[in-house]
Structure 1
């Protein structure tokens, strides 16, 4: 009987340690990246009074309602037209959709990224600020005077015609049209969202193991070659 009780206790201890280790690893993913905009963040752009990390993007209550965006908390851009990438060699032109003119009900995954990275919305513009912060929306440091992301490579602006296309369908039909693409059913390391290519297809916003939050280290163009057959 004592032996059996000892095994039960040991099992509980192992389970608790496993859960604690998982939680620590999960939180450490974003905590050490520049997407940690709390006072503890490692980057130059961060809050001087907000201790929560997730709140800059997510909230458990009163989130912006959209099935495509997980408990989203950052105000979305009202940009009417971003434009889309065009090229004679781009066969996804028939399904690509402009990310402009969207609202909370029609926003795509890439609209979440653009809510900070197009430079039109202040980084601290939250739908549901933390109750624990007496100042309401976080007070930021390192931003432009209007609270937006500083000028630089991470500020994409509102013209996406010179950027890798996003918000288009990558399926077997596109694969059949373009023999320079890999079969989307065999992709690894990159992510499609409801069958579409989005910013987060190549970038993991919660992890910066690779430069610029890339899902795959691009040494030797390894990330590019996940989709492109060159």
Structure 2
């Protein structure tokens, strides 16, 4: 009976958390809205974002398409990165489970199809939109770009717009030697490993430094794969979450600032970190 009551309580907590979290989903008010929007009542306008479209009014097209998507889930509209990634392995306390990962999982590759720092955000899978070239700052997904941090090199595939170069925190794939490397994840939190297996590895070693997976799940962190236990970028981040973002840090009045940047739960007091790490 006790276990039944606990299960019911956990279900109620998760339902309440999902409802609260879903209330912050409003992509029109985030940096991921790159549409040609001039209506202040319909989301961020051109002057409030780093990158905006010249003539595309759709919000979702930069990531999704209803037809001919690749991969089919979640109707993805980006060119997927194919380079080999260097994964995080440097921590002495990192489990062998996490160290064994040699490539990002499919969910994280979705994020890296923009955030590797190499793939252009205006190159999409479906549509009459090609690789960008030129010097116009706006995101014309059929043409030009301009980066306030200076010109970027051109090269094969989508090295043109805007690459989230070394001046942008969104460039996860950069290295100290090459800000456009596009494959360096050695200074980023480990991903694409089974959290449940990593937890069990710690338990078997007599350590309690990780909490059981039910704890982060109950606090809004998401896990993936057939067993719903694989940690990916989207465990901690949700690209649809509004948190009051503008280009010049003005308050839009939309969203929850504690979810900066695109967090699935607040990290105030390191709450997100401590959902997994028992410190």
User: What TM-score, normalized to structure 2?
Assistant: 0.62
- Residue 84 of structure 2 is matched in structure 1 by 80
Where do 1:79-228 residues align within 5 Å?
79-93=83-97, 96-99=100-103, 108-129=106-127, 137-139=141-143, 141=145, 143=147, 145=152, 146-147=160-161, 148-151=163-166, 152-157=168-173, 158-171=183-196, 173-178=197-202, 179-187=208-216, 188-194=219-225, 195-209=229-243, 210-228=259-277
Give the Å deviation of 1:130.
Answer: 6.9
Distance in 2 separating the partners of 1:186 and 1:207: 22
Give the Cα separation in 1 of the matches to 2:59 and 2:89: 33
Q: Distance in 1 between matches of 2:24 and 2:53?
A: 18
What per-residue deviation string (whole Å, max 9, x for no partner) do you get for residues 140-178 of structure 1?
65556510224321111221111100111111x422322
**Following TM superposition, by how much is the alpha carbon of 1:27 offset from its aligned partner in structure 2, in angstroms?**
10
Provide runs of 4+ in structure 1 moved above 3 Å: 25-28, 92-96, 136-145
Deviation at 1:215, TM superposition (A): 1.3
What is the aligned partner in structure 1 of residue 278 from structure 2?
229
Unaligned runs of 5+ in 1: 1-24, 101-106
Change (3 A) 1:33 1:115: same
Q: Radius of gyration: which is bigger?
A: 1
Q: Which residue of 2 is the match for residue 54 of structure 1?
A: 60
Secondary structure of the structure 2 residue equivalent to 1:47 = coil
| C-alpha contact 2:101 2:192 (8 A) present in aligned 1 | yes
For residue 26 of structure 2, give the secondary structure of its aligned residue in structure 1: helix
1:180-222 Cα shifts (integer Å, max 9, x gaps): 1111023221100122110110011110331111111211101
TM-score by length of 1: 0.74
1:31 aligns with 2:62: no
User: In 1, Cα distance between the equivalents of 2:86 and 2:125?
Assistant: 23
